[in-house]
Structure 1
Amino acid sequence: MPYEPETDPAADLSDVQAGRDITLDELAVGLSAVRLMLRKLARAAETPSTPVELSDTIKGLRHLADSVGEHADRAEFLARVVEGDVPLAKTFKGSDPWGKAAQGTDREDYGGPAVIPTQWQLVHLAQQAKWALAQGGDADTTTYPEAMDGVGRGWESKEAQFRRQRERDAAVAREVLLIVCESCASGEGEHCRTKNGRVSEKPHVVRQREAESTVDARLGFLGTNPVAVPDA
């Protein structure tokens, strides 16, 4: 079934974030609330109103709660990191820089420069700094605000890009059925047909291209790629 962003209940984020973008602190609190709800449901399922043994469901809910809890704890730690409360190593073990120091550098062995660090890279950098400070002496550390000064405004994750691509593809699929096909004369709401009249799941190229052009202009895409994120 095609992705339908208009009917996706997850599209309304007003209950999980106060501003335009979610903070890591909000993410941590939201995940913690999910963990608590899962634990409550597991406890309630021990005595359902109708006698049904829900042991497997209860175990599954508790396992899921533990997993969500791990994400909540990590988000809480990362919230402290981005606020500058946690010392970070200035480079990875291979002396590769990160953040603004990595801009314009070459890091071929690891998929390019780490200008935008992943959560695991930040955990690694924090562990490096903690170990160096424990050894005594003057450890060469930094903080996230210092290392990322001026980097990442308007940035979005790969998952956001994937979601926007799915939304674009779904919109194109709907738009195709609004266009009369020049190749087979299939009208609005009709799928394209072969020369011998068989229905095809794929539209003719001319019809597909017209739909893509219309949708891309409406959504702000360039070809199959979203345009640059504002303020990036």
Structure 2
Amino acid sequence: MTEPYETAAETEADTNGLMTGRRITLDEAAAWLSATDLRLRQLARALEAPAEPVELEPTIESLRSESTRLRELAERMHFLARVTDGDVPLAKVFRDTGDPWGVAARDSDRKAYGGPAIVPTQWQLIKLARDAERAETRGVETTTFPEAMKGIGIGWESKAATARRRQERNAEVAAEVLRKTCKTCEAGDGEQCRTKSGWPAEQPHVGRQRDAEADVDARLGYLGDNPVAVPDA
């Protein structure tokens, strides 16, 4: 018997080939982006003369446009890799507000900017690097990423990962709803909930939804739509 095909989600989750350690480094990410950029440009060149006589100019131009975008991403990731390695000086505080970042931002108040920048964004790091370039003329105190981030990183995941896991949880709940018998309208396995007049409804009754959420959250280790613990932290 042949093995079943992997689902798209399983294939996407197989990231082991991208990195040498438990987590991908920014240097590794920069290399992959650069390699993908080159592959797209090679594919665009190959499609100039395909085996079948089909004019593919729009596709070729799309590939080249995408490769340009990837090249820019690769260059940015390479710069950020140097930042995180400590090669690039960074301003200790944001020049426009004087707010600290990294470990120094713990217990600080930065409500107008979405909270303290304990874990800086890529754009904040780029700005801090630019501010540090003015250190000699403006008296800007500088630091490095490793110095500023000592002790931070354990149990943290990106907003993108949190959003993806929330979507996965919600999809599990939607599937679990249809496995349960609704105590309100008695809709069974695979059936949508119904109104009193028998019309099918896309939204399940609250009790059926609540039961499905409770089972899924217990299975996945969630509290509401928030993970109780970050996997592999």
1:1-232 alignment, distance < 5 Å: 7-8=8-9, 9-93=11-95, 94-133=97-136, 135=137, 140-229=141-230
User: Matched residues in 2 for 1:96 and 1:183: separation?
Assistant: 54
State whether residues 221 and 229 of structure 2, in contact with CA within 8 Å, keep that contact through their aligned partners in structure 1: no
Write the letter of the residue equivalent to 1:45: L
Distance (Å, rounded) in 1 between the aligned partners of 2:134 and 2:111 = 27
Aligned-pair RMSD on alpha carbons? 1.8
**What amino acid sits opposite 1:86 in the alignment?**
V
1:31-74 per-residue CA deviation (whole Å, 9 max, x = no partner) reads 11110111111101111111111111111111100101111111
Post-superposition Cα deviations, 1:4-42, rounded to whole Å, max 9, x if no partner, equal x96412111112122222111111111111101111111
Report SS of the residue matched to 1:15: helix
- Identity across the alignment (%): 57
Change (3 A) 1:192 1:139: closer
The alpha carbon displacement at 1:152 in A equals 2.2
Shift of 1:130: 1.6
Q: Distance in 2 between matches of 1:154 and 1:20?
A: 14
Residues 97-155 of structure 1, C-alpha deviations (whole Å, 9 max, x = no match): 1101111111122121111100011011111112224x49x752100000000112221
Q: Secondary structure at the match of 1:190?
A: coil
Q: Which amino acid aligns with 1:10?
A: E
**TM-score normalised to the size of structure 1?**
0.92
Question: Hey, which bits of structure 1, 4+ residues long, moved more than 3 A?
Answer: none
Paired amino acid for 1:127: R
Partner letter of residue 165 of structure 1?
Answer: R
1:102, 1:115 within 8 Å by CA — same for their partners in 2? yes
Amino acid at match of 1:34: T
Q: Which has the higher contact order (CA 8 A, sep 6+)?
A: 1
Instruction: Give TM-score, length-normalised by structure 2.
Output: 0.91
The number of residues matched between the two structures is 226
Q: Deviations over 1:207-230 (max 9, x none)?
A: 110000000001111012222436
Q: Which runs of 5+ in 1 are unaligned?
A: none
Conserved? CA contact 2:131–2:140, under 8 Å: no
Q: Which amino acid is the alignment partner of residue 13 of structure 2? A: A
Distance 2:47 2:194 in 1: 52
Asked if the contact 1:153/1:231 (under 8 Å) is kept, the reply is no
- Report SS of the residue matched to 2:193: coil
The answer on whether the counterparts of 1:31 and 1:72 sit within 8 Å (CA) in structure 2 is yes
More off after superposition, 7-16 vs 154-163 = 7-16
Residue 203 of structure 1 aligns to a residue whose secondary structure is: coil
- AA of the residue aligned to 2:51: S
Structure 2 residue identity aligned to 1:190 = E
